[in-house]
Structure 1
Amino acid sequence: MKLNYLLILGAITLTCGCATQASLTQPQLQPTTASPVSSTPKQSIKSGTFVAGEHETTGGARIVRENGKYYLELDKTFKTSPSGPDLFVILHRSDDVLATTQPPVYPLKNGDYVVLARLQNYSGAQRYAIASNINLANYQSAAIWCRQFNATFGTAKLSVSLPKK
């Protein structure tokens, strides 16, 4: 209500040609308390781009550290086939999850990978927590893997990210 009154008063004084600095000032706002900002900015550790395995898979992946925790992030350009009935996001020890000739993609062996979670969406940005007991130095790639058929849909070789200057 006070703001409407000031706007009307300001319009009247402007049309009269007798505006003063006092009549054009904005009403005083009460100070607000700022919400806390994250103490640690997000830091990119490793990143890579998906290549197709048994199904077309595209987009980027990166491991980030935020507030002392690690996450695997798939970027907004990520996309894979919806034909897998049992898709998971994994980290793999090898930087060459795919066979040298494609197809076929060799099946994954127990102990060579760690499952992060079931794939949330077939496309778009998504984030997966990495358990604190996982040594990231032991894992060189991220992959989209169908557990039921032991089929690798696509993989991204994760290289160390250089700091931005």
Structure 2
Amino acid sequence: MGRVRKVLTGPLVIVVLVVAVGGVGLGLYWFQPWKLWQDETVQEALPGVVESSAPPGAAPSDEPSAPPSPATGPQTLASGELISHEHATSGTVKLVRLGDGSHVVRLENLNTSNGPDLRVWLTDAPVKQGRAGWHVFDDGKYVSLGKLKGNKGSQNYALPAEVNPSGFGSVSIWCDRFDVSFGAAELARV
């Protein structure tokens, strides 16, 4: 009897170890816990805003330059403040029409946690405080504007040309892996 038990224990231990190592590897891949300690800051200028009218290498002029025409420059159509959901999140969200008629969602002074598979979503869902707002953004109409470029900073996300922004009223920093909002902002027309 003792001999049979010894033979079964060896292979069983190996199987348990293989399953445990595989489980740990899968868990690390799925949750990516190291991202909680990695910040990525992205600072993008708003497209279509000219920083300087002087050509590169030209001497500065003493003449005042005319301000850009509001009709041709970027115009903020709606804005809102990010609130926290699954993770502490802050910053300002703006829906901006550029001079060429295209639209961008602009995140300014974003500060949130990093995480696996974070996206920026333009949605029609209402923004709710607390746990009630964590899972509502995939219930209705939404457009993924792409992966979050960085968890800190100011960034732009272009709307596809076929998307009419008037049908959407909120923006979510969405974790696609776990179907949860890190934070969201209600867009109020300006």
Shared fold (TM-score, shorter chain, > 0.5) = yes
Alpha-carbon distance in 1 for matches of 2:186, 2:136: 17
Amino acid at match of 1:74: L
2:131 pairs with 1:103: yes
Unaligned runs of 5+ in 1: 1-28, 30-36
Report the CA distance between 1:112 and its aligned residue. Answer: 2.3
| TM-score using structure 1 length | 0.67
Report the CA distance between 1:95 and its aligned residue. Answer: 2.6
Counterpart among 57, 73, 91 of residue 106 in structure 2: 73
| TM-score using structure 2 length | 0.59
Unaligned runs of 5+ in 2: 1-58, 60-67
Amino acid at match of 1:63: L
Match of residue 6 from structure 1: none
Report the CA distance between 1:108 and its aligned residue. Answer: 3.7
Counterpart among 45, 48, 53 of residue 80 in structure 2: 48
The answer to whether the 8 Å contact 1:95/1:158 transfers is no
The answer to whether the 8 Å contact 2:171/2:187 transfers is yes
Deviations 1:1-46 (A, max 9, x none): xxxxxxxxxxxxxxxxxxxxxxxxxxxx9xxxxxxx8981110011
The CA RMSD over aligned residues, in Å, is 2.1
Alpha-carbon distance in 2 for matches of 1:109, 1:74: 20
Tell me how many residue pairs correspond in the alignment: 121
Alpha-carbon distance in 1 for matches of 2:178, 2:112: 16
Counterpart among 122, 125, 135 of residue 151 in structure 2: 122
Amino acid at match of 1:106: H
Alpha-carbon distance in 1 for matches of 2:119, 2:92: 16
Amino acid at match of 1:73: R
Alpha-carbon distance in 1 for matches of 2:135, 2:84: 13
Higher helix fraction: Structure 1 or Structure 2?
2
Alpha-carbon distance in 2 for matches of 1:159, 1:112: 18
Structure number with greater Rg is 1
Question: Equivalences for 1:123-142 in 2 at 5 Å?
Answer: 123-142=152-171
User: 2:106 aligns to what SS in structure 1?
Assistant: strand
2:95 pairs with 1:63: yes
Determine what percentage of the aligned residue pairs are the same residue: 33
